[in-house]
Structure 1
Amino acid sequence: MGAGLSTLFYTRNDPGITDWDVSFLNPSNLDAPPVARGLIILNQPFSRDLLDTLWNVCSWHCCADGGANRVFDLIPDDLRCSWDRRYVPDLIKGDLDSLRTDVRDYYISKGVPIIQDQDQNSTDLMKCVQSIQELEKPEYLTVTQYEIIILGGLGGRLDQTVHTLSYLHKLRRTRKKAFVVTDDNIAWVLDEGQHRIRIDHDILGPTCGLLPVGVESTILTTTGLRWNLTEAESSLDGLVSTSNHLVPGEFFVTINTSRPIWWCVELQKD
């Protein structure tokens, strides 16, 4: 099937298919429909360019504890001394064991609420998601549900990465869209069923993968990949589709999975 024909076929509305579009990662895309998004910034390294991109497409911004240090350290000195509200989050929340004193003082001077939550049964990420859920209560609700973008969470300590994988695997039950973004890739959970992912080759690829994390196994069928799968069983004990590739000229990837699975795709470095 040629690229043009596949594009025509897969852009039909189908209520049985979940559509995914991460064009918010492309700063030059001015035609993306407005979507209410909440940004949660974790305490891991990221670039100023990526912070700018994600900050600008989100209407609510939250730093998870030491994530505020990361943002603060990227603010130019002249901007810190101005009245500019860029990089001023709506909330800083966590157990606050990582938040530096100079960062705390700066954001207090900017009027940012700083909430210490010492609940040992929840991580800083979970505490920030709880704050988004509070915003979605009927008395505060301005949107049906925020899309959540998590900056960080797939690098650094392995236990923290596994927590991110586990938490979003469970979060899929209550949230329609939640993404994890680093300078290297974007990833999210595809629940069981059929999915159609719009591919912007200016920002995505070429490498991608389907990771059966959190399930014993799943049955996968795909189109739009260099090495497609047809009714293939995937598990950590068997086949794992890593280092797969997007196909130039193909603008959709479709995935049919019998169980939830992680999809990840590389971000273009330029």
Structure 2
Amino acid sequence: MAMIENIMTWHPADVFSNNPIAHKDCALVILNQPLELKPSFYAKIWKNSICRVAADGGANRVYNINTSHEGDDLTLDLVIGDLDSISAEVTKYWKDKGVKITHDSDQYSTDYMKAVNYIWSEKPKPLNIVAIGGLGGRVDQGLSMLHHLYLFQKDYTSGKMFLLSSEGVTFLLKSGRHRIKAKETFQGIGLGKHVGIIPMKEPSIITTKGLEWDVTDWPTEFGGQISTSNHVQEEWVTIETTKDVLFTIDLKFLPQESG
């Protein structure tokens, strides 16, 4: 008898939803990259999380938003890392607010890894984790974040990992079938139309449904053909892949109505 294959369902817009479905329990890791979007956008993400951990200099970035006086203060539960990036002024700011600052000098793990390991050790699993600022800055730093995504997402038993930048959301599709809700908007913030399906680790064969340029049993690899700048056509996009691939979709910001 043929076995019914499981399909993994994704709701990437839940990160900034008013009523999240899949991200009702999620944790935040704030990385040391500029937080370039409106404070109200980050406030939404903060509200949808049960734990917020700054990886070293990420504490500087949250401090900058809080002292911009453009909205309510964003809170932190912990600052962790080798603490070579957080400034003395910011250290005092968070200590005065009662936030624990943990020095971890382990040179074999990055501040990002230290933050994720803390969340996994202290919070019940499965728990989705959203890393904010994951793909900004230097090329080597961006590649390091993608490398970490592969390291952390061995399977989905601990939860799903997301990289959220000022441009889009990126996550890892393990080999198998995936169903992604690719059209959603909440109060002027939504998912855009541009997507990429990128085989960073090894060649894969993919089949897609719901994109402008769908493919069937399509080989994809670096140095060969890869699917970038494809367009969302349907509300739900289905992807079947023989190996792990990155899925990335951009953000869309609608003009806010006045008055």
TM-score band w.r.t. shorter chain: 0.7 to 0.9
Counterpart AA for 1:178: M
Gaps of 5+ in 2: 255-259
Gaps of 5+ in 1: 1-13, 137-142
Equivalents in 2 of 1:34, 1:151: separation in Å? 15
1:65-144 counterparts in 2 under 5 A? 65-76=56-67, 86-136=73-123, 143-144=124-125
- Offset of 1:77 from its aligned partner? 6.3
2:26 counterpart of 1:37: yes
**Alpha carbons of 1:37 and 1:258: their partners in 2 closer, same or farther (altered >3 Å)?**
same
Task: Find 2:46's aligned residue among 28, 48, 55.
Answer: 55
Q: Structure 1 residues 90, 22: CA separation in 2 closer, same or farther (over 3 Å shift)?
A: same
* 1:232 equivalent in structure 2: 218
Q: Which residue of 1 aligns with 2:250?
A: 266
1:104 & 1:87 partners in 2: Cα distance? Answer: 15
Change in Cα spacing, 1:38 to 1:219, as seen in structure 2 (3 Å) is: same
Q: Contact 2:16–2:48 at 8 Å: present in 1 too?
A: no
Q: Which residue of 2 aligns with 1:182?
A: 165
2:241 alignment partner, one of 251, 254, 257: 257
Q: Distance in 2 between matches of 1:145 and 1:105?
A: 33
Superposed CA deviations along residues 135-183 of structure 1, whole A, max 9, x for unmatched, are: 14xxxxxx33210000012121111111111111121115330000011
Equivalent-residue separation in structure 1 for 2:184 and 2:120 (angstroms): 33
TM-score relative to the length of structure 2: 0.88
Q: Which letter maps to 2:168?
A: N
- Structure 1 length as normaliser, TM-score? 0.84
Alpha carbons 2:170, 2:246 under 8 Å: kept: yes
CA drift of 1:33 comes to 5.9
Percent identical among aligned pairs is 34
SS of the residue aligned with 2:250?
A: strand
Contact 1:88 1:107 in 2 (8 A): no
> CA offset at residue 102 of structure 1?
0.8
Structure 1 CA distance, aligned partners of 2:31 and 2:83?
A: 12
